[in-house]
Amino acid sequence: MQNQYLGLTPPMGWNSWNTFTWNINEQLIRETADALVETGLKEAGYEYVVVDDCWSLKQRDADGRLQADPEKFPNGMKAVGDYLHSKGLKFGMYSCDGTHTCAGYPGSFEHEFQDAETFASWGVDYLKYDNCYKPRHADGEMLYKRMSLALRNCGRDILFSACNWGRDNVHQWIQGSGAQLFRSTGDIQDNWESIRSLALSQIEKAPFSGPFCHNDIDMLVVGIHGGSNNEYIGSLGGCTDEEYRTHFSLWAILNSPLMIGCDVRSMSGATLETLANRDVIAINQDIECRGPYRIPQWNNPENVFTLVKPLSDGSLGIGMFNFGDRRSEMSLQFWDMGLSAAAGMGLSFYDCWAHQEEGVFTERYAAQIEPHGCRMFRAKVVKAR
């Protein structure tokens, strides 16, 4: 690898699947790239533009190579990569460890080294690698190791995004495969229940995620508002802006990759504000990539809790979440974070959504959290007297 820092912090970008599924083409990718630049999202850190499933023809060429669908991508995939690179963005592509992708296009099974070379020749910087149509008797762990090895030896730095949905205890062997991120869950849907259950399923897995190998809780649904053309993703019809803020805060503090899934060409001001929140992004991108620990609210422990993430400058990322359907108090006792009031230490709170200092607190910080809402802070240890 040329870039020794490839994948150090969770990747950020945009992926075509959640909104567009099969309905993708070169124009969409170009317009998305333009929008990422014009809206400032690129500047905020979103750099990978990933073309998901349904980009190829249903057959390989005479030499066994993957070929782009000329109706969707008339200038071929290299031209797509060239355009993204000319905008200062990076090019992501999609394949699968099975014989076919989930949508029935050719998969990379037994073509791994050839496909890695093809992707390198197109200027690809990121490969999402799915898990459909894996031959029943083929070992998934081995297939991810194989593609990782192929990518690491294809002559180009290509970030490897393993996507086996948390199967085969992936968190236990993925570090050793060399992948930089691993999907740990089934597919997200554009509704609160899906966000809630995906987050809950991964909080205890925080110790398995870290620098260079990140737990991917799936792409964001922020701003889709029921607009996906995929029935599965779109079922139940979207979330409120507040729920999307909570979703974004959760993914950020859990160190998930932040891959936008909405149509950035037509997103609302509220969506842009959420996705471009640099204070929240900074917590996600902290160089140490330490997973958060959970502190439940004693009288509502299932629904109301705080996630605390130690940051490299000594401060703490703090997210207070209310998964319940009623307004609730969360009282964060500093003792639970190792802070001693007796020693005269307190915390100064900076509100990452209001973008303002809240002042210095000792012993505890109590807040009312709206249903499905959250508060997000960056807290610094200070002498309180």
- Pick 261 or 319: Cβ nearer ligand GLA: 261
Q: Which two tokens stand for residue 318?
A: 């703090």
Q: Which two tokens stand for residue 178?
A: 């060399």
Residue 17 contacts ligand GLA per CB under 6 A: yes
Q: How far apart are CA 22 and CA 11, in angstroms?
A: 24
Residue 204, C-beta contacts closer than 8 angstroms, at least 6 positions apart: none
Residue 52 contacts ligand GLA per CB under 6 A: yes
Residue 84 contacts ligand GLA per CB under 6 A: no
Q: Which residues pair with 365 in a beta bridge?
A: 332
- Pick 25 or 297: Cβ nearer ligand GLA: 25
Question: At closest approach, how far in Å is the CB of 163 from ligand GLA?
Answer: 5
Q: Which residues pair with 156 in a beta bridge?
A: none
Question: At closest approach, how far in Å is the CB of 50 from ligand GLA?
Answer: 9
Residue 216 contacts ligand GLA per CB under 6 A: no
Question: At closest approach, how far in Å is the CB of 174 from ligand GLA?
Answer: 16
Determine the 3-state secondary structure of 151 from DSSP: helix
Query: What backbone torsions phi and psi does residue 366 show, to the nearest 5 degrees?
Result: -115, 140
Q: Which of 187, 241, 279, 351 is catalytic?
A: 187
Residue 251 contacts ligand GLA per CB under 6 A: no
Residue 127 contacts ligand GLA per CB under 6 A: no
**Catalytic site residue 69?**
no
Select the span of 39-47, 100-108, 209-217, 274-282 touching ligand GLA (CB under 6 A): 100-108
Question: At closest approach, how far in Å is the CB of 162 from ligand GLA?
Answer: 11
What DSSP designation does 310 have? E
Q: How far apart are CA 218 and CA 100, in angstroms?
A: 21
Residue 53 contacts ligand GLA per CB under 6 A: yes
Q: Compute, in degrees rounded to 10, the torsion defined by CA atoms 360, 366, 371, 376.
A: 30
151-170 residues near ligand GLA, rule: CB under 6 A: 163, 165
Query: What backbone torsions phi and psi does residue 148 show, to the nearest 5 degrees?
Result: -60, -45
Q: Which of 53, 97, 115, 130 is catalytic?
A: 130
Angle formed at CA 244 by CA 241 and CA 250, multiple of 5 degrees: 145
Residue 47 contacts ligand GLA per CB under 6 A: no
**Catalytic site residue 187?**
yes
Query: What backbone torsions phi and psi does residue 68 show, to the nearest 5 degrees?
Result: -65, 150
Residue choice 102, 127, 143, 162 for contact with ligand GLA (CB under 6 A): 102
Q: How far apart are CA 45 and CA 75, in angstroms?
A: 28
Asked if residue 97 lies in contact with residue 129, where contact means CB atoms within 8 angstroms, the answer is yes
Question: At closest approach, how far in Å is the CB of 85 from ligand GLA?
Answer: 23
Which stretches of the chain bind ligand GLA, using CB under 6 A? 17, 52-53, 101-103, 130, 163, 165, 187
For the annotated catalytic residues, the residue numbers are 130, 187
